[in-house]
Amino acid sequence: MNRKKVFVSGCFDMLHSGHLTFLENANQFGDVYVCIGSAGLVMAIVGGAVMPKLQGMIIDYGGHNVDDIKILGVSEINFSFVLPLLCFILISIYGFKQKRN
């Protein structure tokens, strides 16, 4: 039997029962193809709550001013942007591994 293709998309940053119900309902209409939200979207939702706090901790590491110390030759405020870069690298590695599978 040739079923229809059903395309669904969303930002499944934290999979829960509501997501599963949504996917089960979509499966009634045909074969489900899921497109996950981009890394930027996930970072905007989840990272918006976590990243500023962690970056602030890095910036405050040197003291009260934003350029009290140098970390790897740059001020701590510039170094704090390494954190989101590392997150995007990790997400990219995961994406490439998933694409190969």
**pLDDT tens digits, 38-97:** 656 666 666 667 777 888 888 887 777 656 778 788 888 888 888 878 877 877 787 788
Same domain, 43 and 28: no
Same domain, 56 and 32: no
Confidence (pLDDT) at 78: 80
Q: In whole angstroms, what is the distance from residue 101 CA to residue 97 CA?
A: 7
42 with 52, same domain? yes
Looking at the fold, whether 77 and 89 belong to one and the same domain comes out as yes
Rounded to the nearest 10 degrees, the angle between the axes of helix 48-60 and helix 82-100 is 140
Range of the domain at 69: 38-101
Regarding whether 45 and 88 lie in a shared domain, the answer is: yes
Count how many domains the chain has.
2
In this structure, the answer to whether residues 33 and 2 fall within a common structural domain is yes
Do 57 and 68 reside in the same domain of the chain?
yes
Instruction: Indicate the pTM of the whole model.
Output: 0.45
Q: Which residue has the higher pLDDT, 42 or 100?
A: 100
